[in-house]
Amino acid sequence: MEEIVYLNGKLIPRSKAKVSVLDYGFLFGFGLYETIRAYNGKAFRLDNHLARLRYSADRIGIAINTAVIRKAVLDTVKANGFRETRIRITVSLGEGTITPNLASCIEPTIAVLVTEYKPPAPEKYRDGFKVIVSSIRRNSRSPVTYMKSANTMEAMLARQEARTKDADEALFLNEKGFLTEASGSNIFLVSGGILITPRFEAGILPGVTRVVVFEVANHSGIKVREKNVRLEELLQADEAFITNSLIEIVPVTEVSGKRIGKGKPGPVTKRLASAYRGLVAKETR
């Protein structure tokens, strides 16, 4: 059966959903998005995603009503009826003139897409991801770096670079050579029992799952440290893993051909992954 999508106030079949060729999301990539996972038909940490969306929208001048979008998400999830769900919220400045002029856009475009979600194969969690370091550098001084921008060209190019090298993900360094994040996820490493992750100012997206990892680490008595991280520190770590709302916590066992730790998921990673799944089960039952 065809999926139902939400577009500008209406639930309609996906094939009927149309956006103007003068939409600034299409013309210039001027928009934002959020990706959310729903378990048992319940979106996990939806309000956190909406808060991040609202913060970025306010910064770039897209007028949105998060209460309306929240209802749109719930209605779209219900209309499709999937048990395990991938939710994509996209907002753009809307339709405007072909000559760039932000003031020409009157109403934002708001879309919610819902598809059935299948997580990575079990062996990926058992054996871990192989990642590379992208040739692309992140700009820690760009405001776009800190938003979930609809323009994901850099991330897509980095992921394609990973595929050509038979890797699962690609990591970005910033212009100063510090580790930032992966093309679609945040990165953590474990050294001496301490959980380490790049500081926000290095040029990372403030991941919703990243914050949840902080929560479960705190509840598990695991110390977390945010700092500037050199690539060498990651390569010498005992463990590493990446996180996002869809894949949750996935071990990283190889970076650019070098084994991390013992080359298999470590005890801290396993402990946090178990705690994360427990929290999800509690909040979505």
Residue 168: strand pairing partners:
none
Pair (104, 210) in one structural domain: no
Angstrom distance (rounded) from CA 130 to CA 116: 26
Helix (H, G, I), strand (E, B) or coil at 205: coil
Q: Do 151 and 41 belong together in one domain?
A: no
Q: Report the domain count for the chain.
A: 2
pLDDT 10s digits, 142-193 = 999 999 999 999 999 999 999 999 999 999 999 999 999 999 999 999 999 9
Where among 84, 116, 148 does a domain terminate?
A: 116
As beta bridge partners, residue 137 has 173
pLDDT attached to residue 171: 98
| Percent of the chain residues past pLDDT 90, beyond the cut | 100
Strands 10-13 and 42-43 come out as unpaired
Residues 180 and 214 in one domain: yes
Contact 132, 167 (CB under 8 A): yes
pLDDT tier at 11, thresholds 50, 70, 90: very high
112 and 126 together in one domain: no
Give the Cβ contact number of residue 71 at 10 Å.
13
Amino acid at 221: G
Measured CA to CA, the distance from residue 108 to residue 69 in angstroms comes to 12
Sequence-ordered list of residues with C-beta below 8 angstroms from that of 262, at least 6 positions apart, any chain: none
Tell me how long the chain is.
285
Domain assignment of residue 102, given as a range = 4-116
Residues 109 and 129 in one domain: no
Residue 130: active-site member:
no
Q: Are strands 129-138 and 248-255 parallel, antiparallel or unpaired?
A: parallel
pTM of the predicted structure, to 2 decimals: 0.96
Q: What are phi and psi of 244, to 5 degrees?
A: -160, 175
Q: Which of 116, 143, 177 is the last residue of a domain?
A: 116
Question: Based on the domain organization, do 166 and 261 belong to the same domain?
Answer: yes
pLDDT interval class at 278 (50, 70, 90): very high
| Domain termination residue (choose one: 116, 134, 150) | 116
Residue 1's pLDDT band (boundaries 50, 70, 90)?
A: confident
Contact yes or no for 183/159 (Cβ under 8 A): yes
- What is the separation, in whole angstroms, between the first and last Cα of the chain? 26
Distance, CA of 284 to CA of 271 (rounded, Å): 20
**Segment 36-75, tens digit of pLDDT:** 999 999 999 999 999 999 999 999 999 999 999 999 999 9
- Average pLDDT of the residues of the chain: 97
Q: Are residues 64 and 128 in the same domain?
A: no
pLDDT digits (tens, 9 = 90+) for 99-142: 999 999 999 999 999 999 999 999 999 999 999 999 999 999 99
Q: Which of 16, 124, 148, 223 is catalytic?
A: 148
Residue 37: the pLDDT is 98
Tell me: do 279 and 145 sit in the same domain. Answer: yes
Query: What 8-state DSSP symbol labels residue 14?
Result: G
pLDDT digits (tens, 9 = 90+) for 77-92: 999 999 999 999 999 9
What pLDDT is attached to residue 114? 98
Q: Quick one: 52 and 135 in the same domain?
A: no
Same domain? For 258 and 140 the reply is: yes
Mapped onto helix, strand or coil, the DSSP state of residue 28 is helix
- Do 144 and 95 fall into the same domain? no
Same domain, 111 and 137: no
Residue 235 belongs to a domain with what CATH number?
Answer: 3.20.10.10
